[in-house]
Each structure stands twice: as structure tokens, then as C-alpha cells.
Amino acid sequence: MTRDDIFQKVAATLVEALNVDEDQVTPESTLQGDLGAESIDFLDIVFRLEREFGIKIPRNELFPESIFQGDPEFVKDGRVTPKGLAELRAKMPYADLTEFEANPTLEGISDLFTVNLIVSYIESKLASGAKAAA
Amino acid sequence: MQLKDQIALVTGGSRGIGRGIVRALAAEGAKVAFVYRGSREAADALVAEIGNNCQAIQADVAQADSAQRVVDKVIADWGRIDILVNNAGVIRDGLFVRMEPGDWQTVIDTNLGGTFAFCRAAAAQMALKQRSGRIINISSVAAEHVNAGQCNYAASKGAVNAFTRALAVELGSRNVTVNAVAPGFVETDMTEAVRNKTGDFIQKKLIPVRRLGKPEDIAAAVVFLASPGASYITGQVITVDGGLSLGAVSA
């Protein structure tokens, strides 16, 4: 499956889960900001992706819940600390953090959850599954 | 027939209010699975009375693993769950200064814990797979209009009401409504001891419509909340008590 195939399937899944129009879903769209996803929508998306791609998405893997809930080592004055950034990289290895690292605000975290993030995650998931099968 | 071919699951279904609910849902065309804990004979009799579209499943709702097992069985047998009625409930009345921890725990584990567990077991099926469902929790007027000797029961039912509201908020966008029905004083085994003690006083002096409730009275509200006409009602506690909770004493 090519990256574009994955994107097409992810987009169709989001159209169904979030009740948005097809042309609203671009690789750069943020799930919350652009597509209006709420907390239960993230569960719905995971459920639909599992079904669509025939994979198992462990809890806290694709969409880690409350990464920095109440931990002062990770967040200081509304900004993610270097230690927090390391944690973020560890928890979301498939996320592109380049832009975020330039201005790591707590509010900015939700913008990391993009359509591209899902596509990258699925891509790595399918690749590791293929490797395991080989 | 308002509920033709809908799949319903009712806890505490073999006796009392639960039996009335099972009968009423079946009469509206639903296929009904109900949970009973100990009343095997009553459960078998109810299944025999209703026929093919009814099954009884033995389980104690207070046990942690019961709910998933029951929900899985219903989905395996009938493919979905459209209506979940959390009705199983117990009382262990007694003045608080003498209330044993076990009497507290049993009531909380059954009335609140059972409701949590069955909602938890059915919620993903309803909200994510089906994108439709009705959850109806049987509460009590005794949550708000409290009685001496029921600290445990009042706490459990008050918590059920708050839980009902919070869950309604979470599942609303998935076309799952969550409501509670709060019965007043209903003629069942549960209220027998109090009825024997108080005689006619309650119905003559405290209930404006001048009679005790019947399981059918409660079941009618449950059927309504499960019906298409109630799709815009969620997070509500509907009191069905003949006016008891108005708090008036007849002269």
C-alpha cells in the first residue's frame, strides 16, 4: 500500500467519523482545529482505523492521552521543557516535531495531531507488521 | 409495536420492576435478554411466558466480570444491543451508626458498580459500532427524597443520577441517549417489609394518586425512553411516583 493509498483510506475514515466533507481533509489538516474532533472522536477514529486497516492500535499509541497531565518536569509556564520534548518524541515517534520545537507551547500540542500523523503512524504500523510476517 | 426487533438487555429482570420492564419491552416487539442472580424459577417462568424472543442469563452484576460476559453473549446471539436497562438493585437498610461496611459495599457494588460495569461493557458497541443506543438506569426517588436507614441506598442512587448525566454528555454525539427512571413506592418484594410496617399510610397520606406504584407504571416510562419518540431526551431523571416526591401530606 502506498502512502497515498493510506491517505485516501484515512481520509475516508475521517469523513465518516467526523462527518466532514472530503475536500476538508488534507494531509496538513489538524484533527481538532481544522476538522473539529472532540475527545470521543479520537476513540471513534481509532476504532474505525483498526477495522479499515485490520490492525490493532494499542491504547495511548496513536493518540497518547494527556501526555503531560500535571507533570511539572515536562511543562513549565505553559511551555514544554526539553525533557518534555524528549518524552513527546518517545511517545510519538511518527510525529513531525520540527515546527513545534521552535515554539513548544502547551496549546500547540493539539496541532501535532494531523491527518499526516495518522498516515505516518499507519505506514509504520503496516511496515512493522509486514516485517514481522516476513 | 414501537420496538419491533430491537435487542434489549435488562439486569435484575426476573422479579419486581425488572420483570415488568422485560414484559413491557417484549410486548412492544423487542427481543429481550435479562439477567437474574438467584431466582432461577422465576427467570425460567418468565422466559416460558414470553417465548422465543426472550432469554435469561445468570449473573451477579456486582461481580466485576459479569457485565462483559453477558454483553458478549447477547451480541454473539443477537448481533447488537439497542436498549440497556440497568435495573438490578438491592437494599440493606439500617441506621448508619450500626451500618456494617459489608452493607454499604453490597449496595454500592450492585446498584452503582453494576450500572457502571454494564454501561462500560455496552458503550463501545452502542457508540462506536452501532452509533445508536438507549441506556436507561433505574434510580429511585430515595436519591433525592431520602429516608432514614438508607445512607447506602441513597448514596448509590444519587450517584447513578450523576453518572447518568455525565455519560449522556459523552455519548450524545453518537446517538446514544442515557436517562434514568426514578420510581417511587412500588409494590415489589423489595418494599414488602416497609409496606407491612406502615400499612395504608403511605398510599392514603403521602401519594397524591392514592395508590402504590406497579411495575407496569415504571416499565411504561422505560418503554417510552426506549422508543423513537424519546430520541431528543437525554441526561434526565424521570420521576414516576404518583406524586410522592412532591412531599405533600394529605389532610
Under a CB-based contact definition with an 8 Å cutoff, are residues B217 and B114 in contact?
no
User: CATH code at B238?
Assistant: 3.40.50.720
B84–chain A nearest CA distance, Å: 20
Q: Decide if B128 and A38 are in contact by the 8 Å CB cutoff.
A: no
Domain count across chain A: 2
pLDDT in tens, B172-223: 999 999 999 999 999 998 888 888 888 888 989 999 999 999 999 999 999 9
- Average confidence (pLDDT) over B5-13: 98
CA–CA min distance A18, chain B (Å) = 10
B120 contacts: CB under 8 Å, gap ≥ 6? B67
Per-residue CA distances from B162 to B84, B142, B204, B231 (Å): 18, 14, 32, 20
Domain match, A76 and A17 both = no
What does residue B85 show for φ and ψ, rounded to 5 degrees?
-115, 110
Q: Would the pLDDT of A67 be above 70? A: no
**In this structure, is residue B135 part of a structural domain?**
yes
CATH number assigned to the domain comprising residue A50:
1.10.1200.10
Whether A83 and A52 map to the same domain: the answer is no
Residue B229 lies in a domain: yes
Query: How many other CB atoms are there within 10 angstroms of residue A76's CB atom?
Result: 12
Say yes or no for a CB contact (<8 Å) between A44 and B124. no
Give the range of the structural domain holding residue B224, as residue numbers without chain letter: 7-188+214-242
Contacts of B132 (CB under 8 A, 6+ apart): B82, B126, B174, B175, B176
Q: Is residue B19 part of a domain?
A: yes
Number of structural domains chain B divides into: 1
Label each residue of chain A as H, E or C: CCHHHHHHHHHHHHHHHHCCCHHHCCCCCECCCCCCCCHHHHHHHHHHHHHHHCCCCCCCCCCCCCCCCCCCCCEECCEECHHHHHHHHHHCCCCCCHHHHHCCECHHHHHHCEHHHHHHHHHHHHHHHHHHHC
Least confident of A32-36, A93-97, B100-104: A93-97
pLDDT of B178 reads 98
Is A6 found in the same domain as A43? Answer: yes
Residues A118 and A57 in one domain: yes
Asked if the model's pLDDT at residue B127 lies above 80, the reply is yes
Query: What average pLDDT does chain A have?
Result: 90
The domain in which residue A125 lies consists of: 1-63+114-134
B128, B132, B167, B171: best to mutate for the A interface, most A CBs within 10 A: B128
Examine the domain organization and report whether A6 and A72 are in the same domain: no
**In this predicted structure, what is the pLDDT of residue A70?**
66
Whether residue A59 is found in the same domain as residue A5? yes
